[in-house]
Homo-oligomer: A and B are copies of this chain.
């Protein structure tokens, strides 16, 4: 723990921390599949999709010569493989696009919008997410997230937890790292941010992965704030 009185901006992990990607996608795809008459194990698709997320970003990291690739494109590539693996048939190119854009249509956790609205009165609030700018912008409009600005890994052409993302956010805000607080439901994200001098807030989201959740049930680090939800973060910051 350290002095957090100088914090001016809060940057948020988004998938899992601000929005409930798993329940949102399963509900969205199930409804859509029923309407389109496409049978599939949508839960398996969603869980499988997220399971290859880290590996898909590792490919970008390992091959800088190929250039940066935004998350929409990684999502689409992973989806095409998964659809084949899960033997989901009858999907057109427009269908694959619709599913990929599902990541733009995620619902916030019940406390997110109210908490962000309180925090926005006193702090600059922004996502700092591996989602691309358009994804985060569309999601904000869909879910009513009141960001002041939208910061994405895309702006730095590096995915979290690469240092360029956390330091890039501080640079764009013209703030030293210690005046920026990273808010996340993932201990590894906070660990990377803290190492670079950012302040940290942990909010547990124990149902993020549904029955598959294996870690991040609780804080596993010396974070500046540990709260049960965004309202708790606002309480701690005097908002």
Contacts and interface: CB of A to CB of B under 8 A. Distances in A.
Interface of A: 70, 72, 124, 132-134, 136-138, 140-141, 147-150, 154-155, 172-175
Contact of A134 (B132, B138, B174): B174
A173 B137 contact: yes
A154 B171 CA distance: 11
Contacts of A155: 155
B141 A172 contact: no
Given A133-B172, A154-B172, A174-B132, A141 B149 contact: no
Closest 3 CB pairs of A and B: A134-B174, A149-B150, A133-B172
Contacts of A147: 148-149
Contacts of A133: 149, 172-174
A154 B155 CA distance: 10
Contacts of A149: 133, 136-137, 140, 147, 149-150
A140 B124 CA distance: 10
Contact of A172 (B134, B140, B173, B175): B134
Given A147-B149, A148-B150, A149-B147, A173 B134 contact: yes
A137 B133 CA distance: 16
Contact of A148 (B72, B140, B174, B175): B140
Nearest to A138: B124
A124 B150 contact: no
Contacts of A124: 137-138, 141
Nearest to A152: B172
A202 to B, nearest CB: 25
A145 B173 CA distance: 17
A133 B148 CA distance: 11
A148 B154 contact: no
A129 B133 CA distance: 17
12 contacts: A72-B174, A124-B141, A132-B174, A133-B174, A136-B149, A140-B149, A141-B148, A147-B149, A148-B150, A149-B149, A149-B150, A150-B150
A148 B134 CA distance: 11
